[in-house]
């Protein structure tokens, strides 16, 4: 089976290896090299590096909408195109080229969280379950019928990074299952997505990282988890802007203004929110390393001058 693979970030690399094991990958499409790092030199995406290590030809067109791009894809004579976090929309003229069309590995249980940031949006919304879908692609944004899916719980300690890694491996497993079934002629009939339950996972924006202390502590804690490791939540704490890498919510009642420091100890820094208290556990000062709240208080004993650091926690 001649497979064309299209993907760009680290999330897609396990699926690339699954596709490589499940057929002959005749070409890998990935985004053009982009400037990165302090020197802003061009840097290859993870999928490109993985493909080159496997000895697979790499194609990096700016668009797939041109006549030349479609001709190059057609010349590969693909039986199937597998798309995983590629970053470019595929027009119908491209979807029609492979014999079996195009499959997409998507990191949610569709139709919930169609779009660019399904992993982070699921955590931010307080979802307790998510998963991956293997979808037959069509022209709409993540609207195609589902071939296979697998669910996984979202644990209280899951961050955007941890869930990303787990779903990346789960996506590769579902893809491998789909490829095996296709080879055997036993692929399940595609299931159309229901009209009910559709939500959109809009692309993350760094401006969203700023915490609004008037929101409930539970909402703030979910945002902190969702935005770790990027864009990382941030907030004003005791007249200093901090990045918040870990926090937990408590339903403790209070009458303080949102944003007020209620307590500070080695266990954390308790901040009044619109409903409950958010305890900061790991923070980062401007230009500094990620440290525990207790280590931060060692340098900022003025945060609670009447409440010295205790041995709590």
Q: Which residues are annotated as a binding site for (6S)-5,6,7,8-tetrahydrofolate?
A: 108-111
Helix (H, G, I), strand (E, B) or coil at 25: strand
**From CA 306, how far away is CA 268, in angstroms rounded?**
16
Q: Where are the alpha helices (DSSP H) in 128-216?
A: 160-184
**From CA 232, how far away is CA 204, in angstroms rounded?**
11
φ/ψ of 172, rounded to 5, equals -65, -40
Q: Is the peptide bond before 231 cis (omega within 30 degrees of 0)?
A: yes
Please report which helix (H) or strand (E) contains residue 136, including its range.
Answer: strand 129-136
Two structure tokens written together for 66: 């041109």
Q: Which residues of 239-252 are buried (b: 16+ CB within 10 A; e: fewer)?
A: eeebbbbbbbbeee
Query: Among candidates 266, 254, 278, 279, which has minimal Cα distance to 312?
Result: 266
Torsion of CA 64, 69, 72, 75, to 10 degrees: 70
Residues listed for the chain: 313
**From CA 156, how far away is CA 162, in angstroms rounded?**
11
Binding-site residues sit at: 108-111
Helix (H, G, I), strand (E, B) or coil at 285: coil
CA distances from 136 to 78, 126, 182 (A): 15, 28, 13
């Amino acid at each position: 089976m001649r497979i064309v693979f299209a993907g760009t970030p680290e999330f897609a690399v396990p699926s690339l290896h699954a596709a490589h094991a499940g057929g002959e990958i005749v070409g890998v499409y990935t985004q053009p090299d982009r400037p990165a790092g302090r020197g802003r030199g061009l840097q290859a995406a993870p999928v490109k590096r993985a493909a080159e290590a496997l000895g697979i030809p790499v194609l990096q067109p700016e668009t797939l909408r041109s006549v030349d791009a479609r001709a190059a894809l057609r010349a590969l004579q693909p039986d199937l195109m597998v798309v995983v976090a590629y970053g470019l929309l595929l027009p119908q003229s491209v979807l029609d080229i492979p014999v079996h069309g195009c499959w997409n590995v998507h990191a949610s249980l569709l139709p919930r969280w169609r779009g660019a940031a399904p992993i982070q949006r699921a955590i931010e919304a307080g979802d307790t379950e998510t998963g991956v879908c293997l979808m037959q692609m069509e022209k709409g944004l993540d609207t195609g019928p589902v071939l296979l899916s697998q669910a996984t719980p979202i644990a209280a300690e899951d961050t955007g990074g941890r869930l990303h890694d787990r779903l990346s491996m789960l996506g590769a497993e579902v893809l491998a299952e789909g490829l095996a079934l296709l080879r055997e002629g036993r692929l399940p009939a595609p299931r159309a997505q229901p009209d009910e339950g559709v939500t959109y996972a809009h692309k993350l924006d760094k401006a969203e990282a700023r915490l609004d202390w008037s929101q409930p502590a539970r909402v703030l804690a979910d945002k902190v988890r969702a935005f770790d490791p990027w864009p990382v939540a941030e907030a004003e704490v005791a007249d200093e802007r901090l990045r918040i890498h870990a926090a937990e919510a408590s339903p403790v009642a209070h009458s303080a203004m949102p944003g007020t420091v209620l307590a500070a100890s080695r266990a954390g820094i308790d901040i009044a929110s619109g409903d409950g208290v958010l305890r900061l556990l790991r923070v980062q000062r401007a230009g500094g390393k990620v440290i525990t709240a207790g280590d931060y208080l060692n340098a900022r004993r003025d945060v609670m001058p009447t409440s010295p650091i205790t041995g709590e926690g």
